[in-house]
């Protein structure tokens, strides 16, 4: 019968009240409700609905001596007991304890309430889409125990955790503001709540459109660096032998560009860092090379056939060159026959449309940039 009484205690919790009323002997040989919750200093009032019943503190026909109404044989009848201190108090009917007529009174000190605190993330934390956020909380109750911590994202219940460590994970949060809540509850149903707010943001987009990535330019170079971006509040443009070493400018409105002059021979990283109003950043970087141009000369000329004429010229790999042809050196109408980007040094050029008539050739380096 003790096991039956224990199961009954754990399954019929009522709400906290200044006093509690219990009906004796209804329905059948039972206390109704079998379990009540009150605060220290409150009282329980038993009212008999049938005779030959008692309310006696203790278990299994073993009285504890805290209260005893004795067996009541006439109606109407009530019995009242005041509970001055916190604790759990079992009781039974002296006549019908062996058929499960048992009950319990849970008395709270009135100050036993759980505490809960979200330890991660911090309120005001900023995340990037799609965000996966781990929510962690600590919860306790002095003199009692926390039996459940419920986690919510907004009004949506994420999970219920019945034992520490108390945590939950929410995935794929879209851009927006969110309230994360942890609700701790003790065995009596008393709750405590803690909430934090977070922001999920989509990073801005940024792409350097000029110069092209891996471009080779001739020194001293005058650079105009341009960037294409999404919705931003600032674009910072940098140049350096390594990423982000020298800030050229900060631009808050379109067009997003920066100019730097007389850049010497070296390899450089150009970076554009876009920021939105929340301080979320995105970066695009490209690499360029600036070289000292070699002197243009033509050498190794040969005629392989009546219409084929071949020669070579020194070049900087990656720079652009134009080859022109004329019928005399005083001609004002040099004809550009090919423009190319040097892939080797020297460059070998073959003119398959040469004629037997005198032709003159010259090689020029294109503006780089």
- Under CATH, domain 115-201 is a member of which superfamily? Immunoglobulins (2.60.40.10)
Same fold, 2-108 and 299-365: yes
Facing residues of 271 across strands? 238, 285
Domain range summary for the chain, segments of one domain joined by +: 2-108, 115-201, 206-291, 299-365
Q: Indicate if the pLDDT at residue 244 is higher than 70.
A: no
The predicted structure's pLDDT at residue 304: 61
Q: Give the burial string for 17-32 (b: 16+ CB within 10 Å, else e).
A: eeebebebbeeebbbe
In tens, the pLDDT along 37-85 reads: 988 888 999 999 999 999 999 998 999 999 999 999 999 999 999 998 8
* pLDDT tens readout for residues 181-209: 999 998 878 899 999 999 999 999 999 99
Confidence check: pLDDT of 127 > 60: yes
Asked if the model's pLDDT at residue 285 lies above 90, the reply is yes
Mean pLDDT across the chain: 88
Q: How far apart are CA 98 and CA 102, in angstroms?
A: 9
Give the pLDDT confidence of 105-124 residue by residue, as tens digits.
998 876 668 899 999 999 99
Q: What are the pLDDT digits (tens) for 305-344? A: 667 889 999 999 999 999 999 888 877 788 899 999 999 9
Closest of 31, 36, 23, 8 to residue 96, by C-alpha: 31
DSSP-derived 3-state class of residue 29: coil
Beta partners for residue 224, in sequence order: 259
Residue 369 has a pLDDT of: 64
Task: Calculate what percentage of the chain has a pLDDT beyond 90.
Answer: 72
Domain covering 206-291 assigned CATH 2.60.40.10 in the classification: yes
Between CA 20 and CA 18 the distance in angstroms is: 7
* Fold (topology level) of 299-365: Immunoglobulin-like (2.60.40)
Residue 256 has pLDDT above 90, yes or no: yes
**Could you read off the pLDDT of 130-188 as tens digits, one per residue?**
999 999 999 998 767 899 999 999 999 999 999 999 999 999 999 999 999 999 998 87
Choosing among 3.20.140.10, 3.40.50.2000, 2.60.40.420, 3.20.190.10, the CATH entry for 2-108 is 2.60.40.420
pTM metric for this prediction = 0.60
**Structure confidence at residue 9 (pLDDT):** 32
């Amino acid at each position: 019968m003790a096991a039956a009484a224990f199961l009954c205690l754990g399954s019929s919790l009522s709400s906290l009240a200044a006093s509690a009323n219990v009906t004796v002997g209804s329905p059948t040989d039972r206390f109704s409700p079998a379990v009540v919750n009150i605060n220290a200093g409150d009282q329980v009032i038993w009212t008999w609905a049938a005779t030959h019943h008692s309310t006696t503190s203790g278990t299994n026909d073993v009285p504890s001596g805290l209260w005893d109404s004795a067996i009541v044989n006439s109606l109407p009848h009530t019995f009242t007991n005041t509970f001055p201190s916190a604790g759990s108090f079992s009781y039974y009917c002296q006549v019908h304890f062996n058929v499960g007529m048992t009950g319990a009174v849970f008395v709270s000190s009135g100050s036993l309430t759980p505490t809960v605190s979200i330890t991660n993330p911090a309120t005001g934390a900023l995340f990037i889409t799609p965000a996966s956020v781990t929510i962690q909380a600590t919860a306790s109750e002095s003199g009692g125990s926390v039996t459940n911590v419920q986690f919510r994202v907004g009004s949506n219940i994420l999970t219920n955790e019945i034992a520490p460590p108390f945590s939950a994970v929410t995935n794929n949060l879209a851009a927006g503001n969110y309230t994360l809540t942890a609700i701790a509850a003790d065995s009596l149903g008393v709750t405590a709540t803690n909430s934090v707010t977070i922001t999920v943001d989509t990073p801005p987009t940024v792409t350097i459109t000029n110069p092209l990535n891996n471009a080779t330019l001739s020194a001293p170079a005058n650079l105009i660096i341009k960037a294409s971006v999404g919705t931003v509040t600032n674009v910072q443009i940098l140049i350096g032998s390594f990423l982000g070493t020298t800030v050229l400018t900060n631009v808050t409105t379109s067009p997003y560009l920066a100019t730097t002059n007389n850049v010497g021979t070296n390899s450089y990283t150009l970076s554009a860092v876009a920021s939105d109003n929340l301080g979320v950043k995105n970066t695009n970087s490209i690499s360029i090379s600036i070289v000292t141009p070699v002197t243009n000369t033509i050498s190794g000329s040969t005629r392989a056939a009546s219409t084929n004429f071949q020669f070579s010229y020194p070049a900087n790999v990656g720079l652009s060159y134009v080859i022109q042809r004329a019928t005399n050196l005083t001609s004002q109408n040099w004809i550009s026959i090919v423009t190319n980007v040097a892939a080797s040094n020297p460059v070998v050029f073959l003119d398959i449309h040469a004629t037997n008539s005198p032709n003159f050739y010259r090689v020029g380096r294109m503006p780089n940039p």
